[in-house]
Amino acid sequence: MADLAYGDLTGSFPFLLPTRIEYGLGAAARVSDEAAALGRRAFIVTDPGVLGAGLVEPARVALEAGGLAPCVFAGVEANPRVETVDRAAAEAHEHGADVIIGIGGGSAMDTAKAVAVVAKYGGSILDYEGLDVVPGPTLPVVAVPTTAGTGSEVTLWAIVTDTVRRYKAPVGSFHMAPTVALVDPLTTLSLPPAMTAGTGLDALTHAVEAYTARCSNPVSDALVLYAMELIAANLEQAARHGDDVEARSAVMLGSLLAGIGFGNADTAAVHSMAEAVGAHFDVPHGMANAIFLSYVMRHNLVAVPEKTARIGRAMGLDERGLSTEEAAERAVAAVFALARRLQIPSLGETGVGEDDLPQLAATAMMNLGTPDNPVEMDEKSFLALFAEALRGSEPGAEAGE
């Protein structure tokens, strides 16, 4: 009998990776050459922090020297809004941009992908909400991640906050995948410890959810298990010693692999909860994922005990002498402890109160990833998980288990 930790090895599945990846120290320096192969007028999308850290200027200078007439839009928020995307797209259209460059974390890269849609086809980004609404190829996108966490440089999605509905609207299409991703660990050296921790745990969440989602497949499983190994073994070192290039590289590669993995599987209830909190309270996405990951893992144990135990092995836990269930519980505890060591705040510390939980549960149910959670979710389930996270105790502790 096959080990259930490997999932169904006899089923059929698709696997797509339309983005060309250029990985390595110094890869970001190739942005002008890559952009010149795709267009003649460049539009850079970034955020104020990345701009202030000096990560955009080398690209701008190189693009200018290459005759690509770069224009910089640096107004991206932590949870990019519909209005921001539409405004940036209007500026890109006015500039006559024919290549979009996203420099930054997931917010900047998601915005760049969304801008590439609206700048070409017009309207508002909400006109393309959902899967496969984009009518055809977008403007080409060069993605330059400056955090090790989101995987947006290799995914087909952009998540945009609709402040009217207080909902993170997903826009997804094969056409939205960046044309090329320049993945350079050196761009993360200036990332502060808290952001390193939050984005790294975001990547770990991608790996865990892709591995346990109902639509996981053997290829995505292989990628995300290695991602877990890299992230678990190196994230604390990267957060505490930001100049450690080896640790930074390991986490960056782990983030990339997790991005490819969840882009071909899915995320699930953790993201449903995190995106609800992000939409209502503007909590950074990686931080929100880190808050909820261990609670959802424990909730899902009944469906995926073997896979949860395998997550523990990938994180380097010694499970000798333990039953599958005991090893799985140890994996949950390890994820909770890692978030604590990296000083991830509790849900209550983000400003969420008990009265907010029903609306958050309702919003989580709307998320496209909810049906792929290994345990079927309803508002009551989400409400219980939000309440447990609000208490802040180790998963299962309040129930005396």
Q: Do domains 20-188 and 191-391 have the same CATH topology?
A: no
What local confidence, expressed as pLDDT, does residue 399 receive?
53
What are the φ and ψ backbone dihedral angles of 45, each rounded to 5 degrees?
A: -115, 125
What is the C-alpha to C-alpha distance for residues 401 and 298, in angstroms, rounded to an integer? 11
What local confidence, expressed as pLDDT, does residue 9 receive?
78
85-111 confidence digits (pLDDT tens): 999 999 999 999 999 999 999 999 999
The Cα angle at residue 206 between residues 27 and 89, in degrees rounded to 5 = 60
Other C-beta atoms lying within 10 Å of the C-beta of residue 229: 18
Contacts of 36-40 with C-beta under 8 Å, sequence gap 24+, read 36/66, 36/67, 36/68, 38/98, 38/99, 38/140, 38/142, 38/179, 39/68, 39/97, 39/98, 39/99, 39/139, 39/140, 40/67, 40/68, 40/69, 40/98, 40/99
CA distances for 234 relative to 131, 288, 328, 330, angstroms: 35, 21, 22, 19
**What pTM, to 2 d.p., does this model score?**
0.96
- Is the pLDDT assigned to residue 401 strictly greater than 70? no
Mean pLDDT of the chain: 96
pLDDT band at 398 (very low <50, low <70, confident <90, very high): low
Architecture of domain 20-188: 3-Layer(aba) Sandwich (3.40)
Give domain limits for the chain: 20-188, 191-391
272-306 confidence digits (pLDDT tens): 999 999 999 999 999 999 999 999 999 999 999 99
Query: Which tokens go with 311?
Result: 């997550």
Which residue from 222, 212, 213, 177 is spatially nearest to 16, judged by alpha carbons?
177
Residue of 222 and 12 predicted with greater confidence: 222
Edge-to-edge strands, sheet with 130-131: 130-131, 167-172, 157-162
Residue 125 DSSP class: G
pLDDT band at 1 (very low <50, low <70, confident <90, very high): very low
Q: Are 361 and 327 in contact (CB under 8 A)?
A: no
Query: Which tokens go with 388?
Result: 């447990």
CB-count burial class (<10 Å; 0-12, 13-18, 19+) for 153: buried
Q: In this structure, which CATH number among 3.30.70.360, 1.20.1540.10, 1.20.1090.10, 1.20.1260.10 belongs to the domain 191-391?
A: 1.20.1090.10
What local confidence, expressed as pLDDT, does residue 388 receive?
97
Edge-to-edge strands, sheet with 71-73: 20-23, 180-183, 141-145, 99-104, 42-45, 71-73
